[in-house]
Amino acid sequence: MGFVVIVAVLSSLLLTPLAMRAAWKCGAISRPDGFRKKHARPTPEWGGIAVNTAILIGIGLSAILCPADFPALPLTAALAVSIAMLSFLGCYDDLCDMRADLKLFGQVLSVVPLLLAGCYAERLVLFGQVIELGWLGIPWTVGWIVLGINALNLIDGMDGLASTVGIIIALAIAAMAAISGQQHATIIALVLAGALGGFLAHNLPPARIYLGDCGSMVIGLVLATLALHAGPEAGAANLTHIGALLFVPLCDTLLAIVRRGLAGRGIMAADRGHVHHRLLDRGLGVWGSLAVLGGLSLGAGAMGCLVVLTGQEHWAWLGGLAAVAFCVRQQLFGHEEWGRVKSLFVHRAGRRRVAVAGQTNDPPLGPGEAVDASAMAGLTAGQIAGLSAAQHWAPTPDWPVHRA
């Protein structure tokens, strides 16, 4: 096993300069834009080509040298095919910036080989309660793996971040799988960690090359797949285990969905509100942000392993909620989304109070008469105009109108 990991490290380390040259030659370059991309100079992408090749080399060697540890060889072969498919998709996206719907379709298509090999959750487990999925396990598994693909893709926005978080999650999966007796998952996870470790030598700040979509999406695919096989029971997806393993990427993705949804934008629309952006804006710097997010990933992974050892799932959930609450309270990240959610509830409460007031026998308000601003907080100019026409009142000049 150790030999295979060393081969993965060296393969990635030596292949990365070749991927760098290919990216420069073909134009797969990330250029600073002063908004989301604030690196100092144009930087080649396609680092994922080196990482993915190292993973495939490591998996192939493992299957040859340790056949006893790979009883499900069709599943391993299917994972290799999925890696290759998603790698080609990511390379094309790095070059041409694909439409979001086409990219999502390609991601779903890359999961098909895994499904054909029998890789899908048959049941969900949470706090000892089992939910049999039956045929619903197939769409659930597709959704979970696609979520993992995009979660790692979204977090890949800072030098060394996706690589560092990926290594920590892969090592946590290896430890959890070893505890559960899932030797094949342990080996593949260590191969992934080794491949990312070799690449990280080129990717630490200031990065000389980035993973690109061809790398970050494949890391998400492999981690999400291995998370389903790291537990003690085959075919069962323990929600606590998989949530703890991918804690940081999942939090970032959930916050992005909430933030973009409340802002009225598509969930695939790019913005500068991810957790690493928030930490950088707080003045932590690249290394400080790496330390915070790496520490959170390490703590979550350790908690997941502890849950496997003790079976006490509630500690993982309490720890996760405490970590999120601390980060929101200290305004490290999540505070903007929390503020938007609170504003939404205040907005709706204000609209209900106005609606109730309109149904009473109270005399209508005269033009310019004041209304309780807290009851109307968050209304758009159009909504206030509608109420003005219906109730015969107008907002005062200092009225806090939200412009949609």
Q: Exposure of 283 by Cβ count < 10 A (0-12 exposed, 13-18 middle, 19+ buried)?
A: exposed
Q: Is 201 within 8 Å of 15 (Cβ atoms)? A: no
With b meaning 16 or more CB within 10 Å and e meaning fewer, what string describes 288-314?
ebbebbbebbbbbbebbbbbbeeeebe
Q: What are phi and psi of 402, to 5 degrees?
A: -90, 120
CA-based max dimension of the chain: 86
Mean pLDDT by groups of 10 residues along the chain of 404 residues:
90 96 92 69 92 95 78 83 96 91 95 93 90 92 95 90 96 93 91 96 92 95 94 85 92 84 71 81 88 93 89 87 82 64 67 63 48 46 44 41 39
Those residues whose C-beta lies under 8 Å from the C-beta of residue 354, and which sit 6 or more positions away, are 375, 376, 387
| Residues ≥6 apart with Cβ < 8 Å to 117 | 72, 74, 75, 77, 78
Q: Where are the domains of the chain?
A: 2-332, 338-391
Amino acid making up residue 100: A
Residue 224 to residue 141: CA distance in whole angstroms: 9
Which ranges constitute the DSSP H helices of 122-212? 137-155, 161-180, 183-203
Look at residue 36 in the predicted model and tell me its pLDDT: 66
What is the phi-psi region of residue 190: left when phi exceeds 0, alpha when psi lies from -120 to 50, beta otherwise? Answer: alpha
Asked if 80 contacts 54 with a C-beta cutoff of 8 angstroms, the reply is no
What is the structure's pLDDT at 386? 45
